[in-house]
Each structure stands twice: as structure tokens, then as C-alpha cells.
């Protein structure tokens, strides 16, 4: 396949992440695969993040890096702005404390998905915990598991632009589990094709909202809302409520939070 235009669009939403954003940008800018753009949507940072992004943009000569800094309505709104501007065939959301795993990884990914057969191609991600240890986060191969939990780490999920056109963008009312909602809607539709791979493509930081234990209660609430909103079949609704009666207490056992409203 001859390639003479953008193939990957990497979208990053940032807000006051001066300590991590440069590594994220550099991991894209140093890729040996040239047909990639990096769209950074900043929510109006005040800690020097924008200066770091602009400096990285000025010094990068091999890839297209775009930075837009303005107030927004949250992370979903920022990502949707990035989606609107994206021109690549496949889109990857790489947040401001994530990075691509090595300089050749997009070239390796292109070798797998260059024919554009699949709507979603999901790769493992290495999650960095607070002790600096890398823990694998693998895509779930069970095709029905999305009814209960997220199945793809978003830092490793390459989504074809046509799927966003068919499924819609991220919901602005969600602040943590917006990727789970998108994948739920996509997988629940007919004809969504998925390929799962075993090669890690990114390293996820430990500072993201979705992995922060302080936001656990809100994440669980959003997951419940997503299931109640999107699920149409009664048998899955019943199974989801049974699952929550086991899973929620398990997750919150050590927190002491009251979860009775999640178990209805």
C-alpha cells in the first residue's frame, strides 16, 4: 500500500501537566513513521504547560504538531475538538501522562493495520504504578465483556475515523469513563470490526483521573450510568446488576465508601 498522506492522528488533552507533557509530545515527535500528526488540546493551563508545548512544536521538524489552548467544558469537549481537527485514518487518544513505548512503534502498528480493515485495533498498554513498576493492561478478548467493564485501554486502541462518524463523539457529561461509553456504543452496534494484538504500544502514567483512587467512586458511578443508558436488552441489564453487587463492594472494600445507590 502506497502511503502519501496522514495515517495516524494522536490526540492529547492537557491541563496543568507541565511535569509530563513534554515526554508525551517527544514520544510522538521522535517516531520513525512520518505520516502522523499530534493534536494537543489544552484547557487553558496556567502552570507553564503551554510554554512546554509551544517549545516542543518549534523544535520539531519531522511531524505535524498542533497546539490549541482555550477554556473548554472538560476532557470530552477537548477530545471532541481534537477529533474535529484530525485528518488521519486512525485516531489514538494519548493523554498528557502517557507516551508511546518506543520510536518505531507506529511503524510496527502500521504494518498491522495499514490495510484499514478493522474499525478498532487494540494493543496492550503498560501501566506505570506509583512505584515505577510497569504492569500490563491487556485488551479483553471476550466479545461480550464490554457489558460489564471496559475492554480496551484507550492508549492502545487505534480507532478508524469512520467509526467516530458512525458512533458519534465523546459525551461531555462524562469526565472519567468517556472511553468506555464510546466503545460500548461502538461494540453494541452492528458491523464494528475488532482486531486484538499482543504487542504493547504505550506506557500509561499513574497520574490520570481514571487510575486515581480518589476518583474511584465517580468512575464506578459513570460506568453504571453508561450501562443503564446504553444497554437495551433486559437479560444484560439483569446480569449487570448482579455483577455490580459483587464487583462494587470488591473495589471499594478498603475505602469505606457507602455504595448502596450503586447496587440498585
The set of residues, in sequence order, having a beta carbon less than 8 Å from that of 184 and lying 6+ positions away, is: 146, 226, 227, 230
Q: Which residue has the higher pLDDT, 164 or 61?
A: 164
CA angle 151, 187, 85 (to 5 degrees): 90
Domains annotated for the chain, with CATH where assigned, are: 8-262 (3.90.550.10)
Q: What would the mean pLDDT of 123-149 be, rounded to a whole number? A: 89
d(Cα 130, Cα 135) in Å, to the nearest integer? Answer: 11
Which pLDDT tens digit goes with each residue over 82-92? Answer: 999 999 999 99
Q: Name the more confident of 125 and 190.
A: 125
Give the pLDDT mean for 165-181. 95
Whether residue 208 has pLDDT greater than 90:
no
**Average of pLDDT values for 147-156?**
94
pLDDT digits (tens, 9 = 90+) for 40-58: 999 888 888 989 988 887 7
Distance of CA 244 to the CA centre of its chain: 24
195 has a pLDDT exceeding 70: yes
CA distances from 70 to 28, 44, 81, 220 (A): 22, 5, 11, 29
Are the C-beta atoms of residues 175 and 74 closer than 8 Å to each other?
Answer: yes
What pLDDT band is residue 19 in, cutting at 50, 70 and 90? very high
Backbone phi and psi for residue 260, each to the nearest 5 degrees, phi listed first:
-60, -30
Residue 165's pLDDT band (cuts 50, 70, 90): very high
Provide the pLDDT confidence category of residue 114 given band limits of 50, 70 and 90. Answer: very high
In the block, cell 446480569 appears at 239
Report how far residue 141's alpha carbon sits from residue 63's, in angstroms, rounded to the nearest whole number. Answer: 34
Choose between 61 and 249: higher pLDDT: 249
Closest CA to 167 of 152, 178, 176, 151: 178
* pLDDT more than 70, % of the chain: 88
**Residue-averaged pLDDT of the chain:** 88
Please check the confidence at residue 261 and state whether its pLDDT lies above 50. Answer: no
pLDDT given at position 213: 55
Q: What is the mean pLDDT of residues 211-232?
A: 84
pLDDT-derived band at 73 (thresholds 50, 70, 90) equals confident
pLDDT category at 211 given cuts 50, 70, 90 is very low
The distance of Cα 238 from the centroid of its chain, to the nearest Å, equals 28
pLDDT(206) > 70:
no
Q: What are the CA-CA distances from residue 217 to residues 30, 76, 158, 212 (Å)?
A: 37, 19, 28, 10
Q: Residues 52-66: what's their mean pLDDT?
A: 78
Distance CA 85, CA 98 (A): 21
Q: What string of DSSP letters covers 2-61?
A: ---S--EEEEEEESS-TTTHHHHHHHHHT-S--SEEEEEEE---SSSHHHHHHHHHHH--
Bridge partners of residue 108, in order along the sequence: none
pLDDT given at position 210:
46
Amino acid at each position: 500500500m502506497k502511503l502519501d498522506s496522514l495515517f495516524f492522528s494522536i490526540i492529547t488533552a492537557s491541563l496543568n501537566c507541565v511535569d509530563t507533557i513534554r515526554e508525551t509530545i517527544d514520544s510522538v515527535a521522535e517516531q520513525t513513521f512520518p505520516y502522523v500528526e499530534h493534536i494537543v488540546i489544552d484547557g487553558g493551563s496556567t502552570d507553564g504547560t503551554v510554554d512546554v508545548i509551544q517549545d516542543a512544536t518549534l523544535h520539531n521538524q519531522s511531524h505535524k504538531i498542533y497546539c490549541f489552548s482555550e477554556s473548554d467544558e472538560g476532557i470530552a469537549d477537548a477530545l471532541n475538538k481534537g477529533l474535529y481537527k484530525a485528518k488521519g485514518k486512525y485516531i489514538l487518544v494519548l493523554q498528557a501522562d502517557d507516551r508511546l513505548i518506543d520510536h518505531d512503534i507506529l511503524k510496527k502498528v502500521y504494518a498491522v493495520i495499514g490495510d484499514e480493515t478493522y474499525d478498532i485495533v487494540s494493543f496492550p498498554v503498560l501501566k506505570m504504578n506509583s512505584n515505577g513498576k510497569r504492569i500490563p493492561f491487556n485488551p479483553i478478548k471476550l466479545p461480550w465483556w464490554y457489558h460489564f467493564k471496559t475492554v480496551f485501554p484507550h492508549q492502545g486502541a487505534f480507532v478508524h475515523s469512520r467509526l467516530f462518524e458512525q458512533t458519534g463523539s465523546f459525551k461531555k457529561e462524562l469526565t472519567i469513563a468517556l472511553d468506555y461509553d464510546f466503545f460500548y456504543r461502538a461494540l453494541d452496534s452492528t458491523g464494528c470490526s475488532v482486531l486484538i494484538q499482543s504487542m504493547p504500544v504505550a506506557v500509561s502514567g499513574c497520574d490520570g483521573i481514571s487510575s486515581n483512587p480518589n476518583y474511584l467512586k465517580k468512575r464506578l458511578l459513570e460506568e453504571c450510568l453508561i450501562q443503564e443508558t446504553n444497554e437495551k436488552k433486559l437479560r444484560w441489564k439483569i446480569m449487570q446488576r448482579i455483577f455490580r453487587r459483587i464487583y462494587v463492594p470488591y473495589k471499594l472494600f478498603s475505602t469505606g465508601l457507602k455504595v448502596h445507590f450503586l447496587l440498585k
